[in-house]
Amino acid sequence: MLTIFGSQPQSAQRKSGFCDRLVRRDFLKIGGMALGGLSLPQILRAEAAESNSASSQNASRSHKAIINVFLPGGPPHIDMWDLKPDAPAEIRGEYSPIKTTVPGMEICELFPKLASMAERFAIIRSIADSDGDHSAFQCMTGRRRSEQPPPGGWPAMGSWVSKLKGSVNPSVPAHTSLMYKTGHGDWGNPGDGGFLGLGHSPFRLVGGKGNGMKADNMVLQGVTLDRLHDRDSLRSSLDQFRRAADASGSMDGLDEFSQKAMGILTTSKLADALDLSQEDPQVLAKYGVDDPEFERDGAPRMVRNFCIARRLIEAGARVVSMNFIRWDWHGGDGMNFVNSKRDFPLLDAGLSSLLTDLADRGLDRDVSVVVWGEFGRTPRLNNRNSRDHWPQANCAVVAGGGMKLGQVIGATNKYAEHPVDRPIKFQEIFATLYAKAGLPLTTREFDLRGRPQYLVEPGIEPIRELM
């Protein structure tokens, strides 16, 4: 890992967020990678070991990309995208639907910005195979945890794209992650390379609460956060580090991969993509203000990470995953509605601003976006005026990628209990995203036992309504 620690005053820390003065908690992690403490040099070595594979050699020059937004905890489908205003009060809840720019499509009244641009996204109301686990696994891999994995494990979505398409820019990893390490670990796990290898694990760009992902090895100290904005000062600091290392002989132990890892901060587009001081202030203001506090065991309200995701794609990333807030609201009196009044508007601002930016930059035909959680919520309110876990029905919002948008796909019964029209599987959504990213669904790679494994199970097709 390569980490730079800063010394920003406490008052500034409270006002700034990750990447709007780059970091919240006195450090910037650019290269905390992969699970199990894998360092950037280790991943670079793994990439080099695979450099002779046909798929690596034939990486496409086209820059199709995916932004995968995970809402950890199970967002309430019936309060967000599939309201039932004619149901009894104990089912319909507190919110009313509002009309959108697409005739017949209605969403929650707390999403007015999205309602004003409904032609830019589609709602899938009939996801029927949620695993029921409090985990990002299914949203990251398309696989159920109950499925027997191949040796090495199932690769994450970004790992497949990294393997089959390669890097757009050699200094920007194809597979990047803005997934915060969370108290409930499965909500902050972006997956890994699985049987495809360590070289395709996600490049993790954020840490966890406090210094939860503090570097174990290559640490550059004495560089303040303000100096990160001064490229000359940063290069000078790195030069001093190199000179000191040369004098001690420690550089002799740094191979070309470690030296390349050190060069990422100063020579690539990656640090600039993370630096929101370079963003147009008027554009940035649309996203809203970050809140660095972690929501219990979930992720923080870092709404500007929607902007960071777009900037990473523009820099050359192919897949960006992120986790946003904590949506497990069935405890406490009325928690479902107390929290949603605070958090729905944040999602409304972040997602609508992202979709607007993608369209304004002409990226909406190449960059696909998916927003979802691990399952839905009970249609019937519990005795605390909240909703419990409900894997029988789930929703997703998809956008961009040149998909046919401005529509609702599938339907649940009158109480949003289960799909009654066009049940959709997670793998069908993955197939759609892969197809829009330019990956042939018949592609196969061999697992550690030499058995062929496919992007999605044979027979799974993209969602025809979106194609």
- Of 238, 226, 163, whose CA–CA distance to 12 is shortest? 226
pLDDT at 31: 39
pLDDT at 146: 85
**β-pair type (376-377, 389-390):** antiparallel
Residues 6+ apart with CB under 8 A from 259: none
The CATH number of the domain where 74 resides is what? Answer: 3.40.720
pLDDT at 43: 54
pLDDT in tens, the chain (467 residues): 343 333 344 444 444 444 443 433 333 343 333 333 445 555 555 555 554 443 444 444 459 999 999 999 999 999 999 999 999 999 999 999 999 999 999 999 999 999 999 999 999 999 999 999 999 999 999 999 988 999 999 999 999 999 999 989 878 889 999 999 999 999 999 999 999 998 899 988 888 875 433 322 223 334 444 444 455 555 565 566 556 655 555 545 445 445 445 545 544 578 888 889 999 999 999 999 999 888 889 999 999 999 999 999 999 999 999 999 999 998 777 799 999 999 999 999 999 999 999 999 999 999 999 999 999 999 999 999 999 999 999 999 999 999 999 999 999 999 999 999 999 999 999 999 999 999 999 999 999 999 999 999 999 999 999 99
| Domain containing residue 133 | 3-466
Entry pTM: 0.81
CB 276 within 8 A of CB 306: no
Burial level of 250, CB count in 10 A (0-12/13-18/19+)?
exposed
For helices 335-360 and 305-315, angle between their N-to-C axes, nearest 10 degrees: 30
CB 408 within 8 A of CB 397: no
pLDDT at 133: 93
Cα atoms found within 13 Å of the Cα of residue 35, Cβ hemisphere only: 15
d(CA 116, CA 402): 20
Torsion of CA 304, 114, 98, 345, to 10 degrees: 0
- Number of CB atoms found within 10 A of residue 220's CB: 17
Q: Is 138 helix (H, G, I), strand (E, B) or coil?
A: helix
d(CA 98, CA 190): 34
Cα atoms found within 13 Å of the Cα of residue 207, Cβ hemisphere only: 25
d(CA 409, CA 278): 38
Q: How many domains, in total, are found in the chain?
A: 1
CB 325 within 8 A of CB 372: no
Residues 6+ apart with CB under 8 A from 240: none
Run of H or E residues at 57: helix 54-57
pLDDT at 33: 37
Query: What phi and psi values does residue 4 have, to the nearest 5 degrees?
Result: -115, 125
- Of 342, 386, 463, whose CA–CA distance to 76 is shortest? 386
**CA–centroid distance for 444 within its chain:** 25
Question: What are 364's two structure tokens?
Answer: 């909406």
- Of 85, 466, 28, whose CA–CA distance to 225 is shortest? 28
Q: Please, which residues bridge with residue 27 across strands?
A: 5
Q: Which amino acid is at 389?
A: H
Q: How does DSSP classify residue 192?
A: -
Tokens 């070595």 locate to: 45
pLDDT at 212: 35
CB 41 within 8 A of CB 255: yes
pLDDT at 207: 81
- Helices marked H in 268-324: 270-274, 281-287, 305-315
d(CA 423, CA 125): 9
CB 377 within 8 A of CB 74: yes
